[in-house]
Amino acid sequence: MRRLRCFLADLAPGEGPPALAAHRESCLRCQAAGARERALGRALGALRDEVVAAPPGLQMRVLARLGRQDAFDPRRALIARAAARYAAAAGLAGATLAALLAGVLRRHSRALG
């Protein structure tokens, strides 16, 4: 049971029902895991201050390739991909619903007939 609580506490760090919060407060193993998680967060956050120098010549290469400015939306490809994904999911859901409805109607008509 204790292992299960540790497992659940690890699955939902900082969240979850009061029982998990109480478990975290009393469990040394979970407290140690929490401390490791915070240390990892600090170490990752510290990486933000480090800057890697760009390869030499990057600036010149960019300037040599500048085209015209057309207010192109850099997120367009991402938005189109997301829209396609949602459309496919909606299509699949619609087809499933239609198939279910058709089945129900067929069963109804058989029962009546």
Binding site for other proteins (CB under 8 A): 10-11, 13, 36-37, 40-41, 43-48, 50-56, 58-59, 61-63, 65-75, 77-79, 81-82
Q: Cβ of residue 68: shortest distance to other proteins, in angstroms?
A: 8
Rounded to a whole number of angstroms, the minimum distance from the CB of residue 102 to other proteins is 31
In sign, the C-alpha dihedral spanning 102, 104, 105, 106 is positive
Phi and psi angles of residue 72, each rounded to the nearest 5 degrees, phi first: -60, 135
Instruction: Judge contact between 30 and 10, C-beta under 8 A.
Output: yes
**Residue 34, token pair as written in the block:** 């929490």
Q: Which CB, 4 or 77, lies closer to other proteins?
A: 77
* 20: number of Cβ within 10 Å: 20
CB of 97 to other proteins, least distance (A): 22
**Between 69 and 109, CB nearer to other proteins:** 69
